[in-house]
Structure 1
Amino acid sequence: MARLGQWLAGHELLDDGARARLAHLQSQFASDRVMVAFVAEFSRGKSELINAIFFAGYGRRIMPASAGRTTMCPTELGYEAGLPPCLRLLPIETRMQAQSLLEWRSAPDQWQRIDLDVNQPEQLAQAIEQVAQTLRVSVEQARALGFWHEDNPQDNPAPGPDGLVEVPRWRHALINMAHPLLKQGLVIVDTPGLNAIGTEPELTVGMLPQAHAVVFILAADAGVSKSDLAIWREHLAPTAERGESRLVVLNKIDVLWDELSSPQAVEAQIERQRLHSAEVLGLQGRQVFAVSAHKGLLAKVRQDAQLLQQSRLPELERALADDVLGQRRRLLQSTLQQAVQQLRIEVERQLLVRSHEIEEQVQELQALRGKNATVIRQMRARIELEQAEFDQSALRIQTVRSVHLKTLRLLFAQLGSNQIKAEVAEFAQALKQPGVKLGVKTIYKDTFARLRGGMSQSQHWANEVQDMLSGMFRSLNAEYGFTLQTPQRLDLTRFVREIDGIESAHLQYLGLTNLLRLTQVGFCERLAKAVLSSLRKLYEEASSEAEIWSKTAASQLDGQLRERKRNFARRIEAVHRIQEAAGSLDERINELLARQAEVEAELARWLQLCAEAVQPDADGASLASDIAAPDTPLVPLADKALSTATN
């Protein structure tokens, strides 16, 4: 992308539209993340599975995976360039305040930071054990923090002899590591059980829906328990669009290995459990994997190929590679190809216009051979008249554009942050009311109905602008020989679908089962913040798309207007030089022919650069196939890279 931009700038072809599109693509690829969320109730072996897949190269466990509750707070593993390897922990007390998790991320001084030595597995593991720390607090404090609910007493932590209950010490943990896969953009989200998910709305409406894949872990001997099913139905049940992004793992199949039974009988039992779990959760059988994370980790550490195959871990790794990393890369590749294709066509058109105008100049000058000074003066006068008429048309174009700019301002105002705040204000105010909030669900639905209506209105205004541009471009093409192409229509329908997704993700918090929780001021504030944060992100993306679309259309017109003005100036200059020196006619024609050859070479080079830009990167394109290959070595790609990585 950088090379394309430099080439366009060097050839005076980098208009506002091309610059905006290239900048958007560069930003998209630079910040792109592949988020895989691991979700499970306590004691399902979730942390052990993360260790087996990603950290076996260390020769030991990195994530705490002892018996009982280990990961007590949501934990993200990722990589931020410019930040040293470290563990950052957000105190649980921040739940008492109104700020969202997104806002706390931009307040680094509020997080406790522990530096990590990625070359020292012991120190690394000891530091990360902090995510399992707990506090003992009173029932009142637990209720204020969101861990004690009168309406769901079976989920409340058991009070000790002193009357205190155990809650997580940390609200959120961020681990920054230079692991090879994390450096490539993989983000692992390790989430604790139902209580932690349910009390943190931003997990449900932010992280989990945005995850490119969710790995839901069950115990192979128990199958889908009541609490597992509650998590699945309330937070993870796939929509039609995201069904393929849900993978289920029946972990701990080694518990079913029975020396008193035949291997066939054990296999049949595992298969029955796998298919039954798929049926209960409404998934295809191929989306449910039976594995032993413990045996898989042990096999990798000991280099035991037979045990690794028995653990079935490679099957899950292949699914993650093909269905998550591979699919994400294919989507990005498709995005790149579409963007470069559109850019290629626009720049190719500009270069062809340049070539055509040079050809017209050559024919114009060749017609002057043998003509006297009077004919040459008449030609100059005709060119100047054409230029004056064109300048008048430019004023008319600006008048039409001012109308289209007014409509654009309405469009951008509708997609702006002030509009979102205004639409959500009534819902936020309803959440602030004390006591039971019986009417808040209706207000919530009305709010989202208005948001959908506003997005539909934005689509209407975008269509109006499109129709105005189409009429203007047809007129200019007919009158002045331009080659303006109406851009593709701005399509905002996917944002309407995303609004629907945000609405349905929050709706569960406003039902009868949450009436008592809605009386808690802190919970309501977090819920309002979560709604607003999700909507703000969506509208910023919609506004960005609209801006690029608008600039693309405007810059195409500006570019051809600019080229036409330059062409008039060059034609007048050529005639002037011929008037000054009779011998310069052939010289000028030769210059133009040479310039035309240069433009043709530029066009060939541009097409070559575009072809190179959409070619898959050799190393990156083979990532998924290397991980998923049938002859995958005992230590997989992630661990091989890890073993040779430097701090």
Structure 2
Amino acid sequence: MTRSFNQQFDQHGAWRRNFAHRLKWLSRWLDENELLDQSVAERLRELESQMRTSKVMVAFVAEFSRGKSELINAIFFAAYGRRIMPASAGRTTMCPTELGYDTSFLPCLRLLPIETRLEPHSLAHWRDKAEHWTEIPIDVEDAEQLSQTMNKVAEVRRVPLAEARSLGFWSDESPDDNPVPDAEGQVEIPRWRHALLNMPHPLLEQGLVILDTPGLNAIGAEPELTVSLIPQAHAVVFILGADTGVTRSDLAIWREHLITEGDPGETRIVVLNKIDTMWDTLSTPAQIDAQIQRQRKGAAELLGVPLTQVLPVSAQKGLQAKIRRDVPLLQASRLPALESVLGEGLLGKRERMLRLAVDAGISALQAEAARILKVRQRDLSEQALELQGLRGKNVSVIRHMRTRIEQEQAEFEGSNTRILALRSVQGKLLREVYAVLGSTALKADMARLSASLKRPGIKLNVRKVYGATFDALRNNLREVQATTAEIQSMLHATFRQLNAEHGFALQAPAEPDLSGFQEQLSQIENSHIHYLGIGNLLKLAQPDFCDKLVRALASRLRVVNEAAMTEVERWSKGAGAQLDAQLKERRRNFTKRIEAVERIQSAAGNLDERLAELAAQEAGLAELHVRLREFTALLTSNEAPSAAAARSELSAA
């Protein structure tokens, strides 16, 4: 049978933990052998943390009554033997709900009141304001209590039209999308703006995050969902009803809100749910299958996706089959096929991304560690030649040699002016980088965009307005790239001089390539422009909507700018750490040379003994070279060994 998503994610989690364990072990081995400079140590810690804690988000998006919550129950929570997400008749998710696990919080459901929309803050802002959330403890061992607690996300309120309008649930410009008022003129709105379930579920503990989004009316009132949360999901599952096909509201959600910033072919899966409604005793299995195929083709054509991305499923029968352990019913539900596609596509892509990060980090680490070993080897060879020159020499010659070494040491310490100058200029240029990409500059860019969007009239030039803002943001990155090129040129020149004067083996690290961040900016720009199609263009006449849009954009851009600054800072630290490492090696070399002469002077050890020690140390360095290649190969091999095999390799080492 096809492996379930849970099984695939378990295997993915074991692979990540195994990798993190080997990274930590390598870090300890390098540290014990004094091959771990500050920059490399920091990079290793980042890689290990990324392996252990990186999140994988799957967003489930659908109009009401498409069986979205039931599908989440079937894929993730069948082991409870009952529904956890509200999916029974009359109960549905009314607010965006994130399911994940953060050890800094106790298991609970946190609910953000809908009234927070009246304040000028983004969801990202409210996440850190614990006092504004309603927190309900959960017992993960009690399925009944957990299910009852999750029903909170289905709670609604009835409010007058004026309040619904101010909260974004009533639009005079788009009356067809408005909820139906009751006899008293009130309309139903969600009680909560956002929900966060913090739960030590086996998959959530391993970094899975599930985003359950509400229907069109609720999703449209929260631009941050469309332009921030959903695009960051590693996979988006869009659910249709097999009994209804693609409706007008389904199409509106797809076109206006399902914006992915990667390759849509890799990130979007369309689920044709409720195929059990076609199971007709009057039709043959072949006729039923033909009917399902017609619905699949129709959905694929309307949504513009390959047929292979449209998967027929019965979430209800799949959940039922898992609970009853009914294998034939599970196969008939076609749920395993969806789990296979979701797992292989999502987790395979995630593993490739993590591998690329590891390969880049390990490659830099290996180069730096090998460079330190070569410096040590050269220093040992020079010491051996120096000591061999003392054979048959008298005490005065040995004393003179010590004086000469001390003089060399003093001259070396006195020549650090160039190094200090390099660090001073480097620090100044880096401060310029932080000024260009920092929060103050971003706030100014966002203020200009907000002012342009709030000008009176329909914003038919919205593409131009966004274009000007993003051109400025891309120019900021180009300016930073020019600054890093200037620093790189200075590093090359200074390193060449230091190599010539002191026999160092310094090599300037590769300049950071910021073009990827420019591409991210273009993807975010396209997301916003796509979102502001005709359907949402009219909303720009509302100042509150403009504010929400700009706040959501600012939170995304802050992440991009901070990532770019981190990349530049890591590169700068790499150059500084390499210099520090070779300065440390040179100072240690002076100390060792003086100690050797002292021992010969005091007759504490004869010349041959010292030369034998140097030869043994050189052999030890050669062994370290071999071990370094072996240990780094364990992390960069295409096929990661099993956890048991890895433990065996490391314990043997």
TM-score by length of 1: 0.90
Query: Are the aligned partners of 1:92 and 1:168 in contact in 2 as well (CA < 8 Å)?
Result: yes
C-alpha spacing 1:508/1:416, structure 2 compared with 1 (3 Å): same
Counterpart of 1:245, as a letter, is: T
Q: What is the match of residue 555 of structure 2?
A: 533
Query: Are the aligned partners of 1:149 and 1:156 in contact in 2 as well (CA < 8 Å)?
Result: yes
2-side partners of 1:278 and 1:102: how far apart?
35
Q: Does 1:618 align with 2:642?
A: yes
Query: Are the aligned partners of 2:109 and 2:196 in contact in 1 as well (CA < 8 Å)?
Result: yes
Deviations 1:28-65 (A, max 9, x none): 23431000000011111101111111111111111111
Displacement, 1:546? 1.2
Q: Does 1:394 align with 2:420?
A: no
Query: Are the aligned partners of 2:153 and 2:195 in contact in 1 as well (CA < 8 Å)?
Result: yes
Query: Are the aligned partners of 2:226 and 2:259 in contact in 1 as well (CA < 8 Å)?
Result: no
Q: What is the match of residue 105 of structure 1?
A: 127
Displacement, 1:384? 4.0
Query: Are the aligned partners of 1:42 and 1:68 in contact in 2 as well (CA < 8 Å)?
Result: no
List alignment gaps of at least 5 residues for structure 1. 623-647
Q: What is the match of residue 333 of structure 1?
A: 355
Q: Does 1:74 align with 2:78?
A: no
Q: What is the match of residue 454 of structure 1?
A: 476
C-alpha spacing 1:431/1:470, structure 2 compared with 1 (3 Å): same
Query: Are the aligned partners of 1:151 and 1:513 in contact in 2 as well (CA < 8 Å)?
Result: no
Counterpart of 1:318, as a letter, is: S
Q: What is the match of residue 444 of structure 1?
A: 466
SS at match of 1:76: strand
Displacement, 1:233? 1.4
Deviates more, 1:552-561 or 1:354-363: 354-363
SS at match of 1:482: coil
2-side partners of 1:571 and 1:204: how far apart?
66
Counterpart of 1:486, as a letter, is: A
2-side partners of 1:379 and 1:579: how far apart?
11
Counterpart of 1:134, as a letter, is: V
C-alpha spacing 1:242/1:393, structure 2 compared with 1 (3 Å): farther
C-alpha spacing 1:11/1:399, structure 2 compared with 1 (3 Å): same
2-side partners of 1:506 and 1:515: how far apart?
11
Deviations 1:474-497 (A, max 9, x none): 333344332222212201111111
Q: Does 1:64 align with 2:90?
A: no
Deviations 1:126-148 (A, max 9, x none): 11011111100011101100011
Q: What is the match of residue 263 of structure 1?
A: 285
Displacement, 1:26? 3.2
Task: Summarize the alignment of residues 51-200 of structure 1 with structure 2, pairs less than 5 Å apart.
Answer: 51-68=73-90, 70-200=92-222
C-alpha spacing 1:142/1:325, structure 2 compared with 1 (3 Å): same
Q: Does 1:486 align with 2:516?
A: no
Deviations 1:606-627 (A, max 9, x none): 44443445574736999xxxxx
C-alpha spacing 1:518/1:529, structure 2 compared with 1 (3 Å): same
Displacement, 1:414? 1.6
C-alpha spacing 1:284/1:619, structure 2 compared with 1 (3 Å): farther
Counterpart of 1:235, as a letter, is: H
Q: What is the match of residue 57 of structure 2?
A: 35
Query: Are the aligned partners of 1:71 and 1:191 in contact in 2 as well (CA < 8 Å)?
Result: yes
2-side partners of 1:357 and 1:342: how far apart?
23
Q: Does 1:354 align with 2:363?
A: no
Displacement, 1:279? 2.6
Query: Are the aligned partners of 2:409 and 2:590 in contact in 1 as well (CA < 8 Å)?
Result: yes
1-side partners of 2:158 and 2:422: how far apart?
69
2-side partners of 1:503 and 1:301: how far apart?
45
Displacement, 1:188? 0.5
Deviates more, 1:203-212 or 1:395-404: 395-404
1-side partners of 2:361 and 2:644: how far apart?
20
SS at match of 2:157: strand
Deviations 1:212-258 (A, max 9, x none): 00000111133222211111112225556343111110111111222
C-alpha spacing 1:164/1:592, structure 2 compared with 1 (3 Å): same
2-side partners of 1:155 and 1:49: how far apart?
26
2-side partners of 1:620 and 1:512: how far apart?
57
Displacement, 1:605? 4.2
Displacement, 1:22? 2.1
C-alpha spacing 1:50/1:368, structure 2 compared with 1 (3 Å): same
Query: Are the aligned partners of 1:144 and 1:520 in contact in 2 as well (CA < 8 Å)?
Result: no
SS at match of 1:77: strand
Name the % identity: 55
2-side partners of 1:519 and 1:294: how far apart?
43
SS at match of 2:550: helix
Displacement, 1:455? 0.8
Task: Summarize the alignment of residues 505-584 of structure 1 with structure 2, pairs less than 5 Å apart.
Answer: 505-508=527-530, 513-514=535-536, 516-581=538-603, 584=606
Displacement, 1:438? 7.3
C-alpha spacing 1:619/1:153, structure 2 compared with 1 (3 Å): farther
Counterpart of 2:201, as a letter, is: H
Query: Are the aligned partners of 1:431 and 1:528 in contact in 2 as well (CA < 8 Å)?
Result: no
2-side partners of 1:408 and 1:82: how far apart?
34
Displacement, 1:374? 4.2
Counterpart of 1:476, as a letter, is: L
Q: What is the match of residue 650 of structure 2?
A: none
Q: What is the match of residue 446 of structure 2?
A: 424
Deviations 1:312-367 (A, max 9, x none): 10000111111112321232133223212221221122122212211221222122
Q: Which residue, 48, 70, 77 being the options, matches 1:26?
A: 48
List alignment gaps of at least 5 residues for structure 2. 1-22, 647-653
Deviations 1:458-516 (A, max 9, x none): 11111222222223323333443322222122011111111112222223565664455
Deviations 1:250-303 (A, max 9, x none): 111111222222211221221222133223222222211111111111111111
Q: Does 1:502 align with 2:524?
A: yes
Q: Which residue, 34, 40, 48 being the options, matches 1:12?
A: 34
Q: Which residue, 360, 381, 385 being the options, matches 1:363?
A: 385
2-side partners of 1:548 and 1:115: how far apart?
41
Deviates more, 1:385-394 or 1:199-208: 385-394
Displacement, 1:432? 6.0
C-alpha spacing 1:291/1:621, structure 2 compared with 1 (3 Å): farther
Query: Are the aligned partners of 1:430 and 1:437 in contact in 2 as well (CA < 8 Å)?
Result: no
Q: Which residue, 314, 338, 346 being the options, matches 1:324?
A: 346
Q: Does 1:283 align with 2:305?
A: yes
Q: What is the match of residue 313 of structure 1?
A: 335
Aligned pair count reads 622
Query: Are the aligned partners of 1:441 and 1:511 in contact in 2 as well (CA < 8 Å)?
Result: no
**Root-mean-square deviation over aligned CA pairs:** 2.5
Q: Does 1:412 align with 2:418?
A: no
C-alpha spacing 1:442/1:621, structure 2 compared with 1 (3 Å): farther
Counterpart of 2:561, as a letter, is: Y
Q: What is the match of residue 466 of structure 1?
A: 488
SS at match of 2:416: helix
SS at match of 1:236: coil
2-side partners of 1:583 and 1:473: how far apart?
38
Query: Are the aligned partners of 2:231 and 2:261 in contact in 1 as well (CA < 8 Å)?
Result: no
Counterpart of 1:355, as a letter, is: Q
2-side partners of 1:308 and 1:130: how far apart?
30
Q: Does 1:383 align with 2:405?
A: yes
Q: Does 1:343 align with 2:380?
A: no
Deviates more, 1:270-279 or 1:295-304: 270-279
Counterpart of 1:557, as a letter, is: L
SS at match of 2:257: helix
C-alpha spacing 1:419/1:163, structure 2 compared with 1 (3 Å): same
